[in-house]
Structures are given as structure tokens and as C-alpha cells.
Structure 1
Amino acid sequence: MIKLKTLIVDDEPLALKLLQAKLRKNPEIEIVGQCSNGREAISAIMDLAPDLVFLDIQMPGLNGFDVVKNLQSDVAPLIVFTTAYEQYALDAFDVHAVDYILKPIDDERVARAIKRAEQRLVTAQSEGSKSSILGAIDVIHHNSQTETSMPIATPANVIEQKVEAKVVIKDRDEITILKQSDVEWVDAAGDYVCLHAKGQTHIKRSTLKELLTELDENLFKRVHRSTIVNLNFIKKVIPHTKGEFFLQLGEFEKIKVSRNYKDAIKHFLAGEQ
């Protein structure tokens, strides 16, 4: 029998207790922790490495979507969203996420979510689940906008600005230009990269390899298979097990550094390029 290390996240104490009671009826579930806000959830996911997270969407501060966007894809668990609001694109969840549960939570929906998690665990471990969840978030974000098949004209000055240490992000009829110096870290998610800057996550269709050719190699270093950081935002270096360690960037961001890429950070700490 597969044992799913499970984390519960909800800002309502009664909701936490109810979900905990329902999950304990299922022998496949091993509850490893519970959190009451998004900040705690990110920290617990990094520390506990759960297989599955039951994640509330509506929370003060960081909501459920923010939690997913602030996770490295290599350490992102399977996600079951819980929500009391039908206006979220439930059909998109049904296609892209492991599952969603509409409150009030019942035993049947919990059992269905667990079954789906079991079925996807092997695939998620080999391919990662964050890219599909980001697909759902992207659908929700644009579900009220009109799709267009017309190509976006790229102004000539945008190409010039890429040379001036900026990143260009095309999103349907909009073009966002980020200063590279504002980008704190970048996370790969399938055919997309997530650029985290000034408290926002910008999703760009690109591979990490392609993006690295645009970024200043003296400013950005790869610290994991699918994660790079801006060295200027490193506040703390926290030792971890087996030669790995974490980088504390902002108030919420804690980035895991794998053994294969630790030398780049050691050179940085030693004042070397």
C-alpha cells in the first residue's frame, strides 16, 4: 500500500480539524503536518517534503495559488485544492490539478482525491506536477478574457531592451518587460519558467536553458536542476542534510541548493565570480 505523506493547509481551525478527521479514515494517508497560512505552508513543504498537500485557496496574505507559484518545481508535491467558492474554474482544476474539493468537505470527495493522488504519484515524481497546476492557474487567470489568434507585434525597442539586461514576457495582447535586477529567482515548470520579482510571479513560455542565455551569468546562478537565483537577493545560507543547504531570499522564499550545484554558491560566498 502506498503511504502518502500529507500536509493540510487552511486558515480556519475548524476546517483543519474536519479535514484531519476525514483523512485519518484512510490508511493510505500519513498526516505529517498542518498549517494555517501560506507562509507556513511553503516552509513546511520545504522542510517536510510531503507527497500530497490539501491546500485551501482563499487565505489571507499568500493564497493557495501563491503557495504553488512560490515552490520549486523539483520539490512541489501533488496538490488538492479546497475551496468554498464555485466561481473558480472547477473544470480547469479537474483537468490540470490532482483534484479539487468544494466545501463543505465530504468523505466521498476526500476518498476520490486520495485515489487520484495515488494514481498520479509515480508520474508526478518523474515529470513534476507544478507545470500542470500552473496551467490551471493560467486558465483561471484568463477565463474572462477573449482569446485571439492574431500574432503579437513586437516593438523594435523591445529587442533593444533585451540587450539592456531585461526580460520580455509576452502574454496574449500584453508585453511585460522586467529588469533582470528585479528578478529574485527563476523556477522551471515544464515548457514554462516562473520569474519571481517584487512579490509577483510572471510566467514566460521558455525553457530554463533558453532563458539562461538571456540572463547575466555574473548575476544569476543555477542552484538546482530547474532553479536559478539572483545572487544579490541571498540573505542567509542555511545548512541542510547530505551536503545540501537552503538559501533564504525574501520573507517567504527558501530555495533548496542541490549538491550538484553547491560550488557556485561556495564561490559566491568566497567572493569569487
Structure 2
Amino acid sequence: MVIQTLIADDEVLARRKLRQFLSEEPDIEIAGEGSTASEVMELARAAAPQLLFLDVQMPGMNGIDLAYALADSVDIAMPQIIFTTAYDRYALQAFDLHAVDYLLKPFTAERLRSAVDRARCQLQVKQKSADRDQGHDNGADSFASRIVFKSRGRILFLPVSEIRWIGAEENYVRICAGAETHLLRETMTSMEKRLDPSLFLRVHRSAIVNLQYVKEVRTEARGDFIVQLKNGQKVAMSRSYHSRIGEIFATA
């Protein structure tokens, strides 16, 4: 599969270096280069690229806003995006856009190759899904495979498969993953929309559990429903959600 690719950067040397690195990838075909947001939009509309290397600092519109504009455009198919920038402060916004990767300048050929491999895998999965569903998108790509957030001065990339359960705490959610917990300024509703419902189930207005870590559901002496995880943790379940989890376990 040939991957039609655009390079968007306002620096000539940066575009040249990226093109040189990409010349080592036999399935990457450079469909065009743009130095401004308007040029990139026109190229994306004309070339329908599958992959876009996008700088953040660009004339007219920064790369983050440009990515949102591409996503909102009705006549442009959204490409896979790899951000390339000298600034780390946009990483969270980039991954909110489901970016394939976020490369900090100056990056090496090996680091770029890793990002291209990731994009290649995602495009292959997308193609297989399209072939299987005869071109109809089943929405699987809309669910997060990892949660990206800042914690204690670090940017963490947490695979959703490691999340045991999520609990609400006022205007925050607490993500429990193994021995660690992380507090994010999110709502339960927004988190629920990001997670695959075949793996994650909301069992209370204040709790979501990962079904892979559920050991049992039982009724306590006072009649309260409890979800017990494999590590012994207990999560309260409301009556309104009890029938939902019962149906899932009955068909498992």
C-alpha cells in the first residue's frame, strides 16, 4: 500500500530534512509540501493524503487549529497526523485529536521511523476494517487506545487496557491503574464516550469499570450491589445499572 503523504512546515530546512528521512520509507509517497495553513488545506483537498506531518507553529493558523479545521471539513478526508514541533506544551491537545505521534524537534531518523510504523499499522487496520465492512465505518477507531495527560510534571501515555476502574471526584475523575491512580479534570460522561463499551461499563453515575478486571458482582447484606475486581477492590453499583452488567455476563 502506497501512503500518500503531505509535509506541512514553514521552515524549508525542516521540510527538506523530513523529506530526506522519508525517502528511506519505500511505501511513503510525498504528495506535496505546504508552508502555511491555507496551502495545507488546499493540498489536502486536492491530494486526499492518508498521512500528514504537521508542524505546530505555522503562519495563519497553528497546527492544532489546522487539524481541527481538517476534522471539521466536509470535503476533506481526515488523514493520520504526526505532529512535528519544538514545543512539548501542545502534546495533550495533539492526542485529543487522536494524533498518531508527537515528534519533538530535533528528532532522529529512528524516532521518525517508529512514528511511521505506528501510522502504517493504523492505516492497515483501518483498511482491513473498511474491507470487512464493505466501506462502512463501524466507529471502532473513535475509541481511545490510550489516555494522555499531565501528572506531576510528566506527560503520561496510559494504555486504556491498564485501567481497572474510574471514579468521579467533584469536577475530576480518578483513574485507577494497578498501584497508581491519576486525577484528571474530566467528566464521567466524556470519559465514557472515549472508552470502548465492549470493555468498559458504567456501573454507577460515579464509576466505570474495566470488565477485564471484574471478578464478580454480588449483593451485600444490606442489599447493596458491589462489583469486586480481581485485585480485591470493591466498586459500588447502583440498581439502575445492575441489569446492564447482568445481561453482559449472561451472554459472555
TM-score with structure 2 setting the length: 0.49
Higher relative contact order (CA 8 A, sep 6+): 1
Larger radius of gyration: 2
